[in-house]
Structures are given as C-alpha cells and as structure tokens.
Amino acid sequence: MDAENRHYLDASVGWMGLGNLGEAVQELNRMAPEWAHHPDVLEVRWELHGRQKRWQEALRTAELLVDSYPDRCSGWLHRSYCLHELQRTLEAWNKLIPAFDKFPKEATIPYNLACYACRLGNIDVAKVWLEKAVLIRGRRAIKAIAVNDKDLLELHATLHEW
C-alpha cells in the first residue's frame, strides 16, 4: 500500500480509537478504489461495521475476508461473530469448526466454539472446547475472560472451580 493510502487507513484507525466513527468512515472513503479489498482495509471496515452494530454489512466484509484471504484467521472469527450477533449461532458454529484445524494455535477459535456450544445448550461440548482454548493460551488467561462472558453463563460455576 502506498504512503498516501496508508495514511488514510491509519487516520481511520485513529479516529476509531477516539470514538469518532463518522470521521473514520470518511478517511476510509478517501482511499483509492484499488485498495478497497486490501486485507487491512477490510479489517478496519469490519471493525467500523461492528462498532455501529451493522452486522449484515460486517458479515459481508468478513465473508470477503475469508474468501479473499482464507489464510487469515480473523476473517473466520469475524464471520462467525457476525452470524452469532445475527442470532444465527448454529451457522456461526458450523462455519468456525473448520478453522480449528486450519489455525491450531489460535485460542480464540476454540474459545468462541465453546461460547457458541454453550449458547446452543451443548454444555458438555462447550467444556471440551474451553479446555482446548486452555491448552493453547493457559487456564489463567482463559478464566480471566470467561468468568465475565455472558455466552458462557452456564459454565460460570465450573470456572470458579478452576
């Protein structure tokens, strides 16, 4: 990416960090059209849609990330997160399962699968996936996140035993 367009992208991220999503969008829109599908631009666009709770648009962006950059873990996670936010948790689960083998060192994948399993009422399956996340990132780190996660509400008693 050339310096001018990198500047627009960085400015967009900066505005987002300041909470000014309107300015962040304007900076992205200043970029040359040939950079619209660059993975870093798609990541920022996904973040903007997510912060605006525009899950359908965020889903389209995440799907573009997965299709165009399948070796980038974030697209897989973003897509399933959007599906979950759109109340399509079973679909989120099904779309994320293949990512576990593709990205075996990414703890967020089994963690999110645990969340989706829990929300689908599969508590025993959720426990298995949470343990897989623990094997990657460590019990202390996973517990710190999980104890406040509403998607894992049914596992909170188990987490206190850790």
pLDDT in tens, 92-104: 999 999 999 999 9
Which pLDDT belongs to residue 79? 98
Measure the CA–CA gap between 107 and 142, rounded to whole angstroms: 9
Which residue, 130, 135, 124, is CA-closest to 147?
130
Q: For residue 99, tell me if it sits in a domain.
A: no
Does one domain contain both 24 and 59?
A: yes
d(CA 48, CA 54): 9
pLDDT band at 158 (very low <50, low <70, confident <90, very high): confident
Domain termination residue (choose one: 28, 62, 88)? 88
Model pLDDT, residue 111? 98
Residue 46 falls inside a structural domain? yes
Band the pLDDT of 161: cuts 50, 70, 90: confident
Same structural domain, 136 and 66:
no
Contact 155, 130 (CB under 8 A): yes
Calculate what percentage of the chain has a pLDDT beyond 70.
100
- Give per-residue pLDDT as tens, 100-127: 999 999 999 999 999 999 999 999 999 9
The answer to whether residue 54 scores a pLDDT higher than 90 is: yes
Binned at pLDDT 50, 70 and 90, residue 159 comes out as confident
Q: Looking at the structure, tell me whether residues 72 and 130 fall in a common domain.
A: no
Domains of the chain: total = 2
Is 80 part of any domain? yes
Mark whether 9 and 61 lie in a shared domain: yes
Give me the domain span that covers residue 150. Answer: 104-162
